[in-house]
Copies of this chain bind each other. A is one copy, B any other.
């Protein structure tokens, strides 16, 4: 196999605002990983642009194989992560140019608190294939669904509530 510069390149259009209005959570993640740039293989890094609608959020999720470092390009973000046992929440309000770190495997989120203005962030991840697990989607929207017995007990609610949740449409905000 002959390698050339295109193996290390993606015309990624990370400069273009993505549509966030069609998304229920009001955000849109464009991840450039090893599936898009084959030259990243074994190199342990990837890059993403995240667009947030006014009051939009990148909902609680984890990256099973990566730490994330993020900077705000436009707007403001309220961000946080929860430590593993015990479950302490660390949060921060970020302005343009601020930087925040979400350690590997921890549940984290970003929320745009502005009623009118969108926000944009660039995030880097310490794996060429970091993976993403959006918590609500993985728990209530997996195919096939997780047993409602298991979820009712875990979330301390009636099985009917779980069934209602599992009947919703759990769309993915990662592209």
Dominant SS among interface residues on chain A: mixed
Contact partners of A16 in chain B: CB under 8 A: 97
A139 close to B (CB within 8 Å): yes
Enumerate A81-105 residues with CB–CB distance to B below 8 Å.
Answer: 81-82, 84-92, 94-105
Question: Which residue on B lies nearest to A113, using beta carbons?
Answer: B149
Q: Which of A12, A25, A95 has the most CB of B within 10 A?
A: A12
**Contact present for A84 and B132 (CB under 8 Å):** yes
A61: min CB distance to chain B, Å: 9
Q: What is the CA–CA distance of A78 and B103 in the complex, to the nearest angstrom? A: 31
Residues 23-64 of A at the B interface (beta carbon under 8 Å): 24-26, 32, 37, 39-40, 43-47, 49, 55, 57, 59-60, 62-64
